[in-house]
A and B are shown apart, each in its own frame.
Chain A
Amino acid sequence: MVVHRDSSGPIHRAMSSAATTAPSVDKVDGFSRKSVRKAKQKRSQSSSQFRSQGKPIELTPLPLLKDVPASEQPELFLKKLQQCCTVFDFMDTLSDLKMKEYKRSTLNELVDYVTVSRGYLTEQAYPEVVKMVSHNIFRTLPPSDSNEFDPEEDEPTLEASWPHLQLVYEFFIRFLESQEFQPSIAKKYIDQKFVLQLLELFDSEDPRERDYLKTVLHRIYGKFLGLRAFIRKQINNIFLRFVYETEHFNGVAELLEILGSIINGFALPLKAEHKQFLVKVLIPLHTVRSLSLFHAQLAYCIVQFLEKDPTLTEPVIRGLLKFWPKTCSQKEVMFLGELEEILDVIEPTQFVKIQEPLFKQISRCVSSPHFQVAERALYYWNNEYIMSLIEENSSVILPIMFASLYRISKEHWNPAIVALVYNVLKAFMEMNSTLFDELTATYKSDRQREKKKEKEREELWKKLEDLELKRGLRSDGIIPT
């Protein structure tokens, strides 16, 4: 492994200049998280290939495809594919420069060739293409710079062999999209094992690679019907591992994006498998610490499901309520955003089923001391559709919301929130003035009743302690029973 080496190419130059602008390492505390990161930003790229250290690589240059007669092209094509199986060490910027350049130009030629040529895809070409792609892209991803890699803040480590890798991906996508491509032949080579390795690559820290992978997987899902269930199942496994074991996987957003379009294509009625995926995988994904990195894609998937089958609304909302963030206000704001998206498409019959637990939560959010949470919840009252739902059910919702609203209007530290609450109270007053007056009148006595209950509870616990004490004494034989 090399800590940092300059390499040519515009991307790399940009990266190393970013590294030099980082503050001098000596000036910062070497033991705190931040400076470890800063120091490590220097290592802008890495690559992990377990290889026998090496002698220089020699490839015999082949003629260009366009320079040979059409009849010889298929064979030359195969030869070039075989040559491109050779993998170079890009962490060593000085070795094999000539051969690296040769492979780059060959890959470029191959990309052009599969895009424009006809009749090149013989049956023998399929295994060779898959072999070349596998040799290049399948590798164990290098260790992450630190366990605390924070994708929101830290610069991702870029893949050093990208100059070749990008062309291989490009080639593979053109191959899959080629008019001559026949899935029935390709399925012998693009099999479950291939897909599994492909999915593991989604953990790559390099966003450019994940972007290509997304396209590749999408094409494969589209063209290989036999692999679809398998792909879904493996994505399931990746997510479950992510949620319950590691909390670390870089490609969650990309996989969710693909799933978004997959869900869109589900036939109705939904299979049990799909519903299980929603409830047991997508909903628990909300519990992950790094939710902000893929929340938009996740919320999109959830809404897709609900648009397909509105009866899923109740389990989804109950799931969200179960996993409602207890301490992370940022996540709470995201949950509120997602909930609004769901409410935008909710059917009134479904709304009635969950309005009580839902508005109990909203009432808690509205009275959150964190003004962004309170504000986000109060914005619901600007949503016309939600307002109409509230209005229809004001007799249920108003009593749930009233106490919090009334209290905040008197106590919240943030004037903007107080102003918003006044508007909401006003809206409720106009909606159902009789109930509103009633609640205002009973507010005080209700609070007193609550306080009394609280006191009773305290006494109960005290009594319980006494009781345990007595029992303890009895069992010690001090007080005869």
Chain B
Amino acid sequence: LRGGEVSKMAGADGDDSLYPIAVLIDELRNEDVQLRLNSIKKLSTIALALGVERTRTELLPFLTDTIYDEDEVLLALAEQLGNFTMLVGGPEYVHCLLPPLESLATVEETVVRDKAVESLRKISQEHSPVDLEVHFEPLVKRLASGDWFTSRTSACGLFSVCYPRVSSTVKAEIRQHFRTLCSDDTPMVRRAAASKLGEFAKVLELEYVKSDIISLFTALASDEQDSVRLLAVEACVSIATLLPQEDLETLVMPTLRQAAEDKSWRVRYMVADKFSELQKAVGPEITKNDLVPAFQNLLKDCEAEVRAAAANKVKEFCENLPEDNREQIIMTHILPCVKELVSDTNQHVKSALASVIMGLSTILGKDNTIEHLLPLFLAQLKDECPEVRLNIISNLDCVNEVIGIRQLSQSLLPAIVELAEDAKWRVRLAIIEYMPLLAGQLGVEFFDEKLNTLCMAWLIDHVYAIREAATCNLMKLVEKFGAEWAQNTIVPKVLGMANDPNYLHRMTTLFCINALSKACGQEITTKQMLPVVLKMSNDQVANVRFNVAKSLQKIGPILDSNALQTEVKPVLEKLASDTDMDVKYFAQEAISGKSFPITEYPPESRQHFYKIFIDVQDQLVNV
């Protein structure tokens, strides 16, 4: 297949629309990878131009032959071929796509191989049952018995797609091949087979699940390499779902018990991680007898990784326990372990627990929560690690539903105050985000008394992100507590900052006004906020002045037209003739009434870039 040929043909037909295609084909051979890649990505266009016949007889053989290329090009090719069925003439001819995909499924690079397998799986569905047996299945067999591990690994992903639609003889062969790969001597292949075991089990007839899959499962679950064993745990979920309840005890449970006590923490970790799925798959009886003690052991594991994974599942596990004696199981078996985890030596374990422990209160009800859980919540609220405290505070709503937050408020407050002043600004940020929720739950009096000061202190934080969040927080509080509350408590303080010697604080006043004006309404905005904004138009720092322009634009719609004409307009006009080009720009923007997002800056303004730079620097210094 030569580009030149195509272009000649195009010339002869007088159809110069084929000319670009000719060049595109030449580009497939270009030295520059990027150009080859561009061309490969247009493969469907090339095929469309060539027509189905020439695509089959010329383009595909050409591609099959030139498959030695950069992995990136191969990846694009593997992806394209998955969508090529119509371009080679429909399902009748889809098997023409198999040879190039077969080579791609054997390359070293995992990403390429996986993509080729994905495409093969896709087009397998477009094969007729006959073609599946004549063309597809032989390919799977060739891959399964390939010399190098890559082809055998790829084969593992193809068994399940062809199995349901072939004759019983071929089915037997497929099962045989799968068996062989499960005991392959390279661990890479065994891992691939183990990871597809569950998927393959799903398409098998139940009798073969019992006769074939179980023995493979047992063998893989006791493989010499832990990387193989842990994959068997995953398969365990699907296999257990497929089997009737009465077979689980003999066929699955011995292996699962062994996995839960595996000498490698990676396997135990996997069991902990999949615990909820396993629990659902084996049903309530086995859960009661087997999984409860296993779960206890995982919660007490000697590796923190395993304990953390198990701690993460505490709520889900308890939720899914059979209802008839759920409470009793939790109280006698799970809660004692949970109590120990509260004072675990590892912060990740405590933090994992803190993210779910509040969920137990809905399961255990009010009395148990107050008696047993509350002390744990309180202990975690005082934990030395901020993430633990945060996780508790972020889930307060669960407890609120059961016992009301007031039960907690006495211990909550010190925890909040401490987090509010944490040295890490991201911790401060996280706690600010919970303020509106807390304020709503604790009520306005409690808030005024204990939390208001904190909220105002954040406005002068040295990190911009905190000041910004604090502004947004005020807005939400006003929405909750109303304009009158705002007028009495926060507006005076915000406006007072307009005289602060630090220009960053003066700007915070403006940002607060932007955020609050709508919630506060016309009267407060016109009478109290506007005079302050207007006065700030004389500020000596240009950043403050152009923020005045932006603020005026922002609060404009809330003001009445009289104030706009008599007070706002003269000030904006004055700013529009400012010496600073950015102030001018924003004043003009405000006058012309264009709304613009904050990120849009006049492109020509270098000076402004410098200002942003300073602001960014200011943030960096304070991180």
Residues of A at the B interface (CB closer than 8 Å) are: 1-3, 26-27, 29-31, 48-51, 140, 142-143, 193, 196, 237, 240-241, 244-245, 280, 284, 322, 360, 457, 460-461, 463-464, 467-468, 470-471
Contacts and interface: CB of A to CB of B under 8 A. Distances in A.
Interface stretch (B97-105, B422-430, B577-585): B422-430
A30 B384 CA distance: 13
Given A29-B623, A30-B426, A240-B188, A140 B346 contact: no
Contacts of A241: 187-188, 227
A467 B20 contact: yes
B232 to A, nearest CB: 17
A81 B19 CA distance: 82
Nearest to A1: B304
Main secondary structure of the interface of B (DSSP, over half): helix
A48 B302 contact: yes
Nearest to A238: B187
A2 B302 CA distance: 9
30 contacts: A1-B303, A1-B345, A29-B425, A29-B623, A30-B386, A30-B387, A30-B426, A48-B265, A48-B303, A140-B226, A140-B263, A140-B264, A142-B303, A143-B303, A143-B304, A143-B305, A240-B186, A240-B188, A241-B187, A244-B108, A284-B108, A360-B31, A457-B35, A460-B20, A463-B20, A464-B20, A467-B17, A467-B45, A467-B49, A468-B45
Interface string B1-43: 0000000000000000101100110000001000100100010
Contacts of B425: 29
B224 interface: yes
B458 interface: no
Contacts of B261: 50
Contacts of B149: 240
Contact of B19 (A29, A284, A360, A463): A463
Q: What 7 A-B pairs come out closest when comparing CB atoms?
A: A140-B264, A464-B20, A30-B424, A1-B304, A463-B20, A143-B305, A244-B110
B106 to A, nearest CB: 12
Nearest to A4: B345
B585 to A, nearest CB: 34
B48 interface: yes
B424 A464 contact: no
Given A140-B265, A464-B20, A471 B48 contact: yes
A453 to B, nearest CB: 11
Nearest to A196: B224
B187 A26 contact: no
A48 B110 CA distance: 32
A457 to B, nearest CB: 8
B446 interface: no
B601 interface: no
Interface string B283-321: 000000000000000000011110000000000000000
Interface residues of B, number: 44
Given A29-B424, A245-B110, A460 B188 contact: no
Contact of B108 (A143, A280, A460, A471): A280
A476 B169 CA distance: 46
Given A237-B186, A322-B70, A27 B20 contact: no
A408 B140 CA distance: 53
Given A50-B263, A245-B110, A322-B70, A237 B187 contact: yes
Interface in B397-426: 423-426
B208 interface: no
B148 interface: yes
Contacts of B191: 245
Contacts of B48: 471
A237 B264 contact: no
B42 to A, nearest CB: 7
A6 to B, nearest CB: 15
Interface in B530-547: none
Given A1-B302, A48-B303, A245-B188, 8 more contacts: A1-B304, A30-B426, A48-B302, A140-B266, A143-B265, A241-B227, A245-B110, A360-B31
B346 A3 contact: yes
Nearest to A89: B302
Main secondary structure of the interface of A (DSSP, over half): helix
B424 A31 contact: yes
Given A143-B305, A196-B224, A1 B346 contact: yes
A49 B301 CA distance: 11
Contacts of A48: 265, 302-303
A108 B537 CA distance: 84
A1 B304 CA distance: 6
Contact of A193 (B19, B70, B224): B224
A457 B32 CA distance: 13
A471 B46 CA distance: 12
Contacts of A3: 345-346
A26 B266 CA distance: 32
B42 A464 contact: yes
A460 B303 contact: no
Contacts of A29: 424-426, 623
Nearest to B269: A143
Interface in B226-273: 226-227, 261, 263-266
A315 to B, nearest CB: 12
Determine which residue in A29, A50, A280, A463 has the highest number of CB atoms from chain B within 10 A of its CB, and name it: A50
A244 B17 CA distance: 44
A406 B591 CA distance: 55
A300 B459 CA distance: 61
Nearest to A459: B20
Nearest to B23: A460
A140 B188 CA distance: 20
B45 A464 contact: yes
Interface string B146-167: 0011000000000000000000
Nearest to B264: A140
A27 B303 contact: no
Contacts of B24: 460, 464
Nearest to A3: B345
A285 to B, nearest CB: 12
A27 B110 CA distance: 42
Contacts of A468: 45
Given A142-B303, A245-B110, A463-B20, A2 B224 contact: no
A33 B108 CA distance: 32
A151 B188 CA distance: 25
Contacts of B23: 460
Contacts of A464: 20, 24, 42, 45
B148 A280 contact: yes
Contact of A237 (B17, B188, B345, B387): B188
Interface string B45-74: 100110000000000000000000010000
Interface string B543-582: 0000000000000000000000000000000000000000
B186 A26 contact: no
A140 B226 CA distance: 9
Contacts of B19: 463
A463 B623 CA distance: 52
Contacts of A240: 149, 186, 188
Contacts of B35: 457
Contacts of B31: 360
A91 B21 CA distance: 69
A185 to B, nearest CB: 24
Nearest to A468: B45
Nearest to B306: A143
